[in-house]
């Protein structure tokens, strides 16, 4: 977003990701860092959580 003159939007999108993806059922969102937060890269991953067995 720096390239287009709106650096604050990048961090806003990262924050939205944190809220949106943290609540997905059956999926775990993991991110160690983002460029907008001062890291070298954005390293997000999604992991499928195992289903709970019904007894």
Whole-number pLDDT of residue 28:
93
Q: CA neighbours within 13 Å on the CB side: how many for 12?
A: 6
DSSP string, 1-30: -GGGT-HHHHHHHHHHHHHHHTT-TTEEEE
- Quote the CA–CA distance of 48 and 26 in Å, as a whole number: 6
Predicted structure pTM score: 0.67
In percent, how much of the chain has pLDDT > 90? 25
Give the residue among 42, 12, 16, 13 at the shortest CA–CA distance from 30: 42
Whole-number pLDDT of residue 36:
83
Integer-rounded Cα Rg, in Å, for the chain is: 15
Q: What is the pLDDT of residues 16-36, one digit of tens each?
A: 988 999 889 999 999 998 888
Residue 5 binned pLDDT confidence (cut-offs 50, 70, 90): confident
């Amino acid at each position: 977003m720096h390239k287009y003159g709106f650096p604050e939007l990048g961090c806003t999108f990262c924050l939205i990701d944190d809220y949106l993806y943290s609540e997905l059922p059956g999926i775990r969102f993991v991110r160690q860092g983002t460029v907008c937060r001062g890291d070298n890269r954005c390293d997000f991953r999604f992991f499928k959580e195992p289903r709970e067995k019904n007894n």
